[in-house]
């Protein structure tokens, strides 16, 4: 599949309209996952959906994994952490409420350890240097813990709608791949090899290690270092009983994402790379039998005068900027006077610089300020129409490949969204209320 087909200079392609309010109002909708590549506005979209859902009567919680912490600022919270916090300022007259939280990856991992092991074993795990490194930065841990937290929130049943802002990963697919990746790590041959001595237990285990695996562990010690190898083995011995739990919960959450009460919203910008990533995600969701609600096309530019094309605007600007050398306030322009001024300044009137200065003086004198302003605005409009045309072509490429995907456009704003009113405005656009684009 490719979005690179240059032949799509076609008439405008239309997709089905993504209807957000029916999705939010449906009590069967329990989870909405906002996904897409980085920098396309997933966090703002998730927050706007949360505000709109709450003010339409849902008890909603927004889980974000955004390190920029813009969600807290826009919702008027000093900070977000691993505990859902109520958002003040929401209109609760319809019976809805809104909470928000930010995933703390390490704390979530710690909670899993404490919940699924006895105190002595939990302390051994939490103090283990290898675990501390794994829980803070192992590839895929953030995505896996996001799914762990989603499972925890769903199990609490304190909210009837959970909105997830997926991690700002290199690839939008990482969120779906993380459980399998971590599960493969825990079930891998290397881990099983290191677990073997611990499973034998006690002195027999050490004898087995010394006799049967001396060559192997010697090689591993050289590669990993003796201390790291010992930390890994101690960690695995303590975690042994939990490995099956990790896999089981990952599988359960994965099935939860496939359930009818879940809806995926793919968020993209009208840019080639973002829509290519969105196309990959749409295809992956279909392959995994996960319910796609539609695509949010964010930061779309528009114009209040679409009938004025870029070419016509440029032609009008050039006409306004043509010098009128014969008439200024009803008289004749004295070009020699302009050259005389150059002589007085010590510049040779025959030089190119003097001639150019005289021409500029003549143009400035003959074009009224309002015409120069109008010409400048026309050129800005022409540039905007070029952007609009480029975004439309990019959008049409996606629609030509996935004509069945419902879509809604959100206009580009003049500034950042930083409060609840801004989120309400975005929510209105998501629901189909389209003001003039910035």
Does residue 228 surpass a pLDDT of 90?
no
The larger pLDDT score, comparing residue 110 to residue 209, is at 110
pLDDT in tens, 112-156: 888 888 888 888 888 888 788 777 666 567 777 888 888 889 988
Among 165-174, 184-193, 209-218, name the most confident range.
165-174
- Domains in the chain, ordered, with CATH? 20-176+243-304+397-430 (3.40.50.300), 310-393 (no CATH)
pTM: 0.76
> Distance between CA atoms of 36 and 16, rounded to whole angstroms?
20
Does residue 333 surpass a pLDDT of 70?
no
pLDDT in tens, 183-205: 565 555 555 555 555 454 445 44
Task: Give the mean pLDDT of the chain.
Answer: 77
- Reading the block at residue 323, the tokens are 């010098």
Average pLDDT value for residue range 363-386: 84
Three-state DSSP at 242 gives helix
In degrees, to the nearest 5, what angle opens at C-alpha 90 toward C-alphas 84 and 107? 10
User: DSSP readout, 9-28?
Assistant: --SPP--PBP-HHHHHH-TT
> Distance between CA atoms of 182 and 247, rounded to whole angstroms?
8
Q: 34: which strand partners?
A: 165, 265
pLDDT value for 312: 92
Lowest-pLDDT range, 143-147, 173-177, 286-290, 396-400? 173-177
Three-state DSSP at 59 gives strand
pLDDT band at 8; cut points 50, 70, 90: very low
Does residue 386 surpass a pLDDT of 70?
yes
Does residue 167 surpass a pLDDT of 60?
yes
Contact, 405 vs 292, CB < 8 A?
Answer: yes
Average pLDDT value for residue range 349-373: 62
């Amino acid at each position: 599949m490719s979005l690179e087909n240059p032949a799509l200079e076609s008439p405008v392609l239309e997709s089905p309209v993504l209807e957000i309010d029916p999705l939010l109002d449906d009590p069967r909708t329990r989870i909405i996952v906002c996904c897409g590549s980085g920098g396309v506005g997933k966090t703002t979209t998730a927050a706007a959906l949360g505000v709109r859902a709450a003010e339409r009567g849902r008890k909603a919680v927004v889980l974000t994994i955004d390190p920029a912490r813009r969600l807290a600022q826009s919702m008027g919270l000093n900070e977000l952490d691993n505990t859902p916090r109520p958002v003040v300022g929401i209109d609760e007259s319809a019976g809805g409420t809104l909470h928000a939280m930010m995933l703390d990856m390490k704390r979530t991992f710690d909670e899993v350890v404490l919940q699924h092991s006895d105190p002595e074993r939990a302390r051994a795990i939490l103090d283990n240097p290898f675990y501390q490194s794994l829980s803070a930065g192992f590839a895929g841990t953030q995505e896996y813990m996001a799914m762990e937290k989603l499972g925890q929130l769903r199990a609490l049943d304190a909210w009837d709608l959970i909105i997830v802002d997926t991690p700002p990963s290199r690839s939008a697919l990482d969120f779906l791949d993380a459980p399998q990746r971590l599960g493969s790590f825990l079930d891998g041959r290397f881990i099983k090899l290191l677990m073997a001595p611990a499973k034998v237990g006690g002195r027999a285990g050490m004898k087995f290690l010394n006799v049967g695996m001396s060559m192997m562990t010697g090689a591993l010690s050289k590669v990993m270092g003796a201390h790291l190898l010992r930390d890994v083995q101690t960690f695995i011995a303590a975690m042994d009983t939990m490995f099956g739990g990790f896999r089981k919960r990952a599988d359960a959450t994965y099935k939860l994402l496939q359930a009818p009460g879940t809806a995926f919203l793919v968020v993209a910008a009208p840019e080639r790379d973002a829509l290519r990533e969105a196309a990959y995600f749409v295809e992956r969701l279909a392959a995994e039998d996960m319910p796609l609600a539609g695509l949010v096309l964010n930061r779309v530019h528009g114009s209040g005068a679409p009938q004025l094309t870029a070419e016509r605007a440029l032609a009008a600007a050039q006409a306004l900027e043509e010098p009128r050398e014969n008439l200024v306030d009803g008289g004749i322009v004295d070009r020699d006077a302009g050259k005389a001024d150059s002589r007085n300044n010590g510049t040779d009137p025959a030089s190119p610089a003097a001639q150019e200065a005289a021409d500029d003086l003549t143009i400035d004198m003959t074009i009224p300020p309002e015409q120069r302003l109008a010409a400048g605005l026309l050129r800005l409009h022409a540039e905007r129409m070029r952007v609009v045309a480029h975004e439309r072509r990019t959008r049409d490429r996606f629609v030509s490949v996935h004509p069945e995907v419902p879509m809604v456009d959100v206009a580009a704003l003049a500034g950042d969204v930083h409060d609840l009113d801004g989120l309400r405005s975005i929510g209105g656009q998501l629901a189909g209320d389209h003001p003039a684009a910035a």
